[in-house]
């Protein structure tokens, strides 16, 4: 390729990126999502960003995709996940919501999946339910949000906030398992029926799971009600407080 041709090529790629940024801004986004990448430097001069190919064409992750790799930190795991397209949830997300908090936290909270606010911000539990979770941590437990780790069963937002489907959980759960393996928390709190039932591989209702210690990957797990449920049913906050007190007792903080 000549120098002129290379310059033209670069200019066209820059134009495409600029156009994409404008689309994002119109949609109310302040910047590029972490997952943006260019698929080919040979893009046509008029080419615009293309939607991802159908998920059915892509392989579903097996645990070996991640478990087989010598990953020694959450940052290395996040890099290994990359711009993951292992399940169809990639098609509607803004970005992957990996998790946030102390990489060596004693206590890990696990929810179901990102909602709209989390999808935009790239951080779990930042909407109204997230604010309530933060209050539980800071006011109820007298801990800082940065002291714990917060993640979800699936890392991409299910469209219309539907429950993640079986194939999506199968594709994404290896990431969560690796996260737990790397963090090595003393205690996991599963937030809501979906997270608890998925992690414990049971259909038992949350009303019977909560308040009782279980085990996930050799780690003690306490299921409790989801903060979003508490927003609709504030009277049940007392049940969550019972569960949280059990967690605090186990941690030697009560």
Rounded to an integer, what is the distance from CA 58 to the centroid of its chain? 20
Of 240, 190, 184, 87, which is closest to residue 201 (Cα–Cα)? 190
Closer to ligand SF4 by CB, 170 or 248: give it.
170
Give least dist CB 238 to ligand SF4, A: 34
Of 217, 210, 203, 205, which is closest to residue 189 (Cα–Cα)? 210
Residues 128 and 232: beta-carbon distance below 8 Å: no
Give least dist CB 233 to ligand SF4, A: 28
Closer to ligand SF4 by CB, 9 or 65: give it.
65
Give least dist CB 169 to ligand SF4, A: 9
Closer to ligand SF4 by CB, 154 or 193: give it.
154
Closer to ligand SF4 by CB, 162 or 235: give it.
162
Residues binding ligand SF4 (CB under 6 A) = 61, 81, 84-87, 89-90, 96, 154-156, 168, 171-172
Q: Which long-range contacts (CB under 8 A, 24 or more apart) does 78-85 make?
A: 81/155, 81/175, 83/35, 83/37, 84/155, 84/156, 85/52, 85/55, 85/58
Give least dist CB 67 to ligand SF4, A: 14
């Amino acid at each position: 390729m000549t120098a002129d041709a290379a310059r033209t090529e670069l200019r066209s790629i820059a134009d495409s990126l600029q156009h994409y940024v404008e689309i994002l801004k119109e949609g109310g986004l302040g910047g590029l999502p972490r997952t943006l990448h260019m698929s080919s430097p040979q893009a046509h001069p008029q080419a615009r960003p293309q939607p991802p190919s159908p998920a059915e064409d892509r392989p579903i992750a097996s645990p070996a995709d991640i478990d087989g790799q010598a990953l020694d930190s959450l940052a290395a795991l996040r890099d290994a996940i990359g711009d993951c397209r292992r399940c169809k949830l990639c098609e509607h997300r803004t970005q992957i919501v990996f998790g946030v908090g102390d990489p060596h936290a004693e206590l890990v909270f696990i929810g179901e999946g990102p909602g709209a606010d989390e999808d935009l911000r790239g951080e779990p539990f930042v909407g109204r339910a997230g604010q309530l979770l933060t209050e539980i941590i800071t006011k109820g437990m007298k801990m800082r949000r940065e002291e714990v780790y917060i993640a979800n069963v699936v890392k991409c937002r299910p469209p219309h906030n539907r429950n993640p489907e079986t194939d999506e959980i199968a594709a994404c759960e290896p990431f969560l398992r690796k996260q737990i393996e790397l963090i090595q928390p003393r205690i996991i709190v599963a937030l809501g029926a979906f997270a608890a039932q998925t992690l414990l591989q049971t259909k038992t209702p949350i009303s019977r799971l909560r308040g009782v210690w279980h085990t996930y990957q050799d780690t003690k797990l306490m299921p409790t009600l989801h903060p979003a449920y508490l927003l609709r049913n504030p009277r049940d906050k007392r049940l969550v407080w019972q569960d949280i007190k059990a967690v605090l007792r186990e941690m030697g903080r009560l």
